[in-house]
Amino acid sequence: MIYYLAQFLSELEIPGMRMFQYISFRSGLAVITSLAISMLIGKRIILYLQRKQIGEDVRNLGLEGQMQKKGTPTMGGVIILFSILVPVLLFADIKNIYVIIMIVTTIWLGMVGFADDYIKVFRKKKAGLSGKLKILGQVSLGLFVGLTMYLSPDIVVRETVPTAKTEVVDTLSDVSKQMALSSLNEKTTKTTIPFFKNNEFDYEYLIPFKGPWARKLVWVVFIAVVIFIVTAVSNGANLTDGLDGLATGVSAIIATTLGIIAYLGGHLIYADYLNIMYIPGTGELVVFMSAFIGAAIGFLWYNSYPAQVFMGDTGSLAIGGIIAVFAILIRKELLIPILCGVFFIETLSVMIQVSHFKRTKRKYGEGRRIFLMSPLHHHYQKKGYPEPKIVTRFWIVAIILAVITVVTLKIR
């Protein structure tokens, strides 16, 4: 809203209004605003949740300090969601198709998570929303994202333009230049493969035949991949949200990395210099991710050990979905196993534990475990590590993975 107002005022030659043309300026405002909102409304929402006795019902799993968390307000994810959406609506170009997708993602998975928390807290059903309905919500979002990327004419990719071509384009008038650059745009299912020199991978390579049917079928494959990634990362973030500040801090680190990559990939000069895929319009996503970072840091103020509030599924499902969809939109989804390594290993630990338990129960009559407890952070709790130490070390791992992810832009 302020973005469009500033555009109008700049036409009237009001001093300072042209600053809003710059993504970096609006991103800075988004960070500050989201941080301020989360800090200001956080305490009020926590007090409201306490008055309504909307607290965490903790099962005794024999973990140190676990029962002290009982009664801690949950559903605090609404703080994160509100702190993201308000700055985005104020400072982002909400007509941008990428921003629209991210707003829908935030609201949709926030609603799915809220329904889960509501059933747990108010209807006193510990299982919450059924697994099938939760998966249905995630699949629906993945289907929406995939179909939008297929149908929208605004979602295109422009591969690195040879220098000779850019020099020719620079000699043209502004209108001719825009038309020439638009002609280089491509509706494609290409994405980025880390560590390879010619690192564009097209999902069309997975289709065993060529022709017009192959070009249509590849979008079916692409949409299936989108659905899988959205579901996996969303659930991964949900599993990671088990210690005070763990999921929040890791998500802020991942978001910062994605924001940097989106800025580089959405800037023609930087994309050309780094020899990476240029995606017109994705620069606007930096404003959204800046709001996400500010909201996460502001929430961490109350969620750090000992937590005054938990985000619940309202927050964890949403932030996982935001990260997944954002990575897909900037064509960096194959970097997720590296960048979201903490989410990945937490999910993997649960899968290994459950499958091994079932297999050994069938074979020996009793289930055996590989980890003392899953997800992995609870394994370290069982080994006697203090909760803040586990969280800090997971943050350090997340930072290392983030650095590796950024470095992959040049190491090929």
Query: Looking at beta carbons, which pairs linking 190-193 to residues 24 or more positions away fall under 8 Å?
Result: 190/157, 190/159, 190/277, 190/331, 191/331, 191/332, 191/333, 191/334, 192/276, 192/277, 192/331, 192/332, 192/334, 192/335, 193/334
Helices (H), 152-284: 163-170, 174-183, 212-240, 246-265, 268-274
CA distance 137 to 42: 27
Domain count for the chain, please give it.
1
Asked whether residue 36 is assigned to any structural domain, the reply reads yes
**Residue 374 half-sphere exposure, CB side, CA atoms within 13 Å?**
20
Asked whether residue 391 is assigned to any structural domain, the reply reads no
pLDDT in tens, 91-130: 999 999 999 999 999 999 999 999 999 998 888 887 788 8
The reported pLDDT for the residue numbered 352 is 95
pLDDT in tens, 345-384: 999 999 999 999 999 999 888 889 999 999 999 999 999 9
Specify the pTM: 0.91
CA distance 78 to 60: 26
Helices (H), 12-92: 23-51, 77-91
Asked whether residue 348 is assigned to any structural domain, the reply reads no
Asked whether residue 118 is assigned to any structural domain, the reply reads yes
Asked whether residue 61 is assigned to any structural domain, the reply reads no
Res. 159: pLDDT tops 90? no
Res. 134: pLDDT tops 80? yes
Q: Which residue has the higher pLDDT, 26 or 50?
A: 26
Asked whether residue 307 is assigned to any structural domain, the reply reads yes
Place of tokens 């007090």: 47
CA 16 from chain centre, in angstroms, equals: 33
Asked whether residue 340 is assigned to any structural domain, the reply reads no
Helix (H, G, I), strand (E, B) or coil at 202: strand
Domain residues for the domain of 306 are: 24-54+70-332
Helix (H, G, I), strand (E, B) or coil at 128: coil
Asked whether residue 184 is assigned to any structural domain, the reply reads yes
CA distance 317 to 295: 15
pLDDT in tens, 44-83: 999 988 887 776 666 656 666 666 677 788 889 999 999 9
